[in-house]
Each structure stands twice: as structure tokens, then as C-alpha cells.
């Protein structure tokens, strides 16, 4: 168990590349990231009922739809970023992107929900003061009291999605041989490649008749 932290560290900090075929592994990673266990388990333990509006009005289905859109958008953003400058290059970097964008998407969804309910209150009351009171209650309920649980759920969802995409959609790159490493740093040194041997010397070709005729000290008998 002593090597477990080191193994986890290498698994999340080593350079990674996307798995091939890309469409298959990206699709599997997206499906696993969207299927957040708390939502899936509660759907089986507490199935939606007709009295509550059925499956179409269940908040868990809406959460899965919103999560699917958000996860797909984050995967697309990460793919574009990797094509531009090669980052994030590790699983830890991919997980950090999911945390960042998951936090942003959670805030954006909460703000959008507050605006929608505030707009709906304009058509549900009779007086101006009553409308202001309902808007104030909506802002307090969703914008203040609902902020901590929404962030907790959103960040937890983002961590799960980031782990699934980083582990399923990406694989470690094969290590490249480095000539700067040595056994002093815990890794085996790689010797430099041996230089190529020079080609064997070629035997001199016999002189031609013209060359023999120009050589000094060669008589006619020797030429024949």
C-alpha cells in the first residue's frame, strides 16, 4: 500500500493522449460522465410517480439532460484547447477543467433559473408591491439559500464527470527515452545509440589501357 499514492500520482500527472477510435471512447466517457450515481440510484429507488407529474416532470431527468449538455460542451472545449496548444496534457489537467467549467455552468444555470422564476412572477400577481415581494422571495430562495446546495451538487457532478472522461477517454502516452536520466533518480539510464560503423574500403580498380599507356616506365611488352 505504500506505493499506492505514487501510482495514483503517476496516473494523473503523466502525459495522456486520446483513446482511439476517438468517437467510441469519447461516447463511452460522455455516457459514464452523465450517469452520476446519486441521480441514477434515486431513479431506481424512488421512481417517479404519476402524482408527481411522471418522468417528464421529474427533476432528476432534467438534471441528466442539463448534465449531458454541460459534459458535452466541456469535452468539446477541452478537445479544442488540446488542438491549439496541447493542454491539458494530463488527467489532472482534464479534471481541473471540469471543476472550473462545472462551477461556471452551475452558477449560470442558477442565475438562469432565478431569472426565469422572477419573470414568471410578473404575470402571477395583481399589484406592484406584491410582485416585488414575490421577486424578492424568489431571489432569496434560489439566489441565496439555494446557492450552497447547488454548488455542492454541481461540483460533485463535475468531479465525477471529470474522472470518467479522464480515465475512459484518455490513455497514458508511452514514455520517451531520455538521455538525461540516471539510476540516481530512480530510473534506468538509457545509453545513447552506438555510432554507425564506416563502410569497408573499396579495392582499387585496375588501370585502363589509356592509363597504363600514360604511366612512365611501362614498355610495349608490359602494355601487351
The CA distance from 206 to 224, in Å, is 15
Q: Give the sign of the dihedral formed by CA 171, CA 11, CA 4, CA 41.
A: negative
Other beta carbons within 10 angstroms of residue 150's beta carbon come to: 17
Whether 135 shows a pLDDT value over 70: the answer reads: no
C-alpha to C-alpha distance for 50 and 48, rounded to whole angstroms: 7
Q: What is the CA radius of gyration of the chain?
A: 35
Residue of 18 and 182 predicted with greater confidence: 18
pLDDT at 169: 93
- 78 CB neighbour count, 10 Å cutoff: 23
177 or 59, which is more confident?
59
Cα distances (Å, whole numbers) of residue 106 to 31, 36, 214: 20, 15, 96
pLDDT confidence bin for 132, thresholds 50/70/90: low
CB < 8 Å & 24+ apart, contacts of 146-155:
146/110, 147/110, 150/106, 150/109, 150/110, 151/103, 151/106, 151/107, 153/106, 154/102, 154/103, 154/105, 154/106, 154/109, 155/99, 155/102, 155/103, 155/106
Cα angle 19, 23, 27 (rounded to 5 degrees) comes to: 95
Q: What is the pLDDT of residue 116?
A: 78
Q: Band of the pLDDT at 143, cuts 50, 70, 90?
A: low
Is 60 exceeded by the pLDDT of residue 218? no
97 pLDDT tier (thresholds 50, 70, 90): very high
Q: Are 138 and 118 in contact (CB under 8 A)?
A: yes
- The better pLDDT of the pair 218, 1 is held by 218
Residue linked to cell 429507488: 45
Whole-number pLDDT of residue 223: 47
117 against 107, higher pLDDT: 107
pLDDT band of 96, cuts 50, 70, 90: very high
**Higher local confidence (pLDDT), 54 or 152:** 152
DSSP letters spanning 15-76? BEEE-SSHHHHHHHHHHHHH--HHHHHHHHHS---TTTT-GGG-HHHHHHHHHHHHHHHHHH
Which grid coordinates belong to 185?
Answer: 533518480
What is d(CA 23, CA 189) in angstroms, rounded to the nearest whole number?
38
Q: 138-142, 167-171, 178-182: which has the highest mean pLDDT?
A: 167-171
Q: Does residue 178 carry a pLDDT above 60?
A: no
pLDDT tens figures, 51-93: 666 666 787 888 888 899 999 999 999 999 999 988 899 999 9
Q: Which pLDDT score is estimated for 37? A: 92
Shortest CA distance to 66 belongs to which of 105, 17, 32?
Answer: 105
Amino acid at each position: 500500500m505504500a506505493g499506492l499514492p505514487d501510482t495514483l500520482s503517476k496516473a494523473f500527472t503523466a502525459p495522456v493522449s486520446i483513446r482511439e477510435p476517438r468517437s467510441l471512447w469519447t461516447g463511452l466517457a460522455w455516457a459514464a460522465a452523465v450517469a452520476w450515481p446519486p441521480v441514477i440510484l434515486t431513479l431506481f429507488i424512488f421512481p417517479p410517480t404519476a402524482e408527481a407529474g411522471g418522468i417528464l416532470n421529474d427533476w432528476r431527468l432534467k438534471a441528466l439532460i442539463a448534465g449531458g449538455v454541460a459534459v458535452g460542451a466541456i469535452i468539446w472545449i477541452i478537445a479544442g484547447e488540446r488542438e491549439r496548444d496541447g493542454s491539458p496534457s494530463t488527467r489532472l489537467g482534464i479534471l481541473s477543467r471540469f471543476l472550473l467549467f462545472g462551477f461556471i455552468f452551475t452558477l449560470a444555470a442558477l442565475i438562469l433559473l432565478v431569472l426565469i422564476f422572477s419573470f414568471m412572477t410578473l404575470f402571477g400577481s395583481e399589484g406592484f408591491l406584491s410582485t416585488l415581494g414575490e421577486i424578492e422571495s424568489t431571489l432569496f430562495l434560489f439566489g441565496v439559500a439555494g446557492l450552497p446546495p447547488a454548488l455542492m451538487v454541481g461540483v460533485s457532478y463535475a468531479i465525477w464527470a471529470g474522472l470518467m472522461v479522464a480515465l475512459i477517454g484518455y490513455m497514458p502516452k508511452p514514455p520517451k527515452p531520455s538521455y538525461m536520466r540516471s539510476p540516481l533518480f530512480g530510473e534506468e539510464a538509457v545509453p545513447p545509440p552506438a555510432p554507425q560503423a564506416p563502410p569497408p574500403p573499396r579495392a582499387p580498380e585496375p588501370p585502363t589501357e589509356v592509363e597504363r599507356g600514360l604511366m612512365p616506365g611501362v614498355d610495349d611488352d608490359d602494355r601487351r
